[in-house]
Amino acid sequence: MYTANLCQKTILLIKERGSLITRRSAGIPAIIIGILASEDSIDVFNGILLSLHNIADSKVPISADAVDFPQVHALNCLKAIISSTKLAARVDQHIVRTLRLAARCLTSDV
């Protein structure tokens, strides 16, 4: 349960403090990978991926500051999760949805 709370706090950081996070999401993907690799619960894993998908798929406000895009940080985390050999056995069921999301994001006006 501790790791689930830690992941949720990290996701909250992406949502609320995205403008403070800089180049390549400042290690947040590595934090998420480390937490998920140590977590045995598939429900926690699926919940974190769902949260990241929801953030990445959310609309970017027209008035958004040029550096405040939690969607980018969520996409960076999803890329790291899919690329991680430590998480390969659990990520298979999420690959198609994540690739579709990434393809949609390529058409973003931002």
Provide the pLDDT for residue 18: 56
Domain map (residue ranges) of the chain: 2-105
What per-residue confidence (pLDDT) applies to 72?
A: 85
How far is Cα 39 from Cα 75, in angstroms, rounded to an integer? 21
Read off the pLDDT of residues 38-79 as tens digits, 9 standing for 90 and up.
888 899 899 999 999 999 998 877 665 555 678 888 999 999
Q: What is the distance in angstroms between the CA of the first residue and the CA of the last residue of the chain? A: 37
Q: Percentage of the chain with pLDDT > 70? A: 80
Length of the chain equals: 110
- Radius of gyration of the chain measured on its C-alpha atoms: 13
- Close Cβ partners of 7 (under 8 Å, ≥ 6 residues apart): 32, 35, 36, 39, 44, 48
- Give the pLDDT confidence score for residue 40 in this predicted structure: 85
Q: Is residue 15 predicted with pLDDT exceeding 80? A: no
pTM over 0.75: yes
Per-residue tokens: 77: 């985390």
- Residue 16's pLDDT band (cuts 50, 70, 90): low
Return the percentage of the chain with pLDDT > 90, whole number.
31
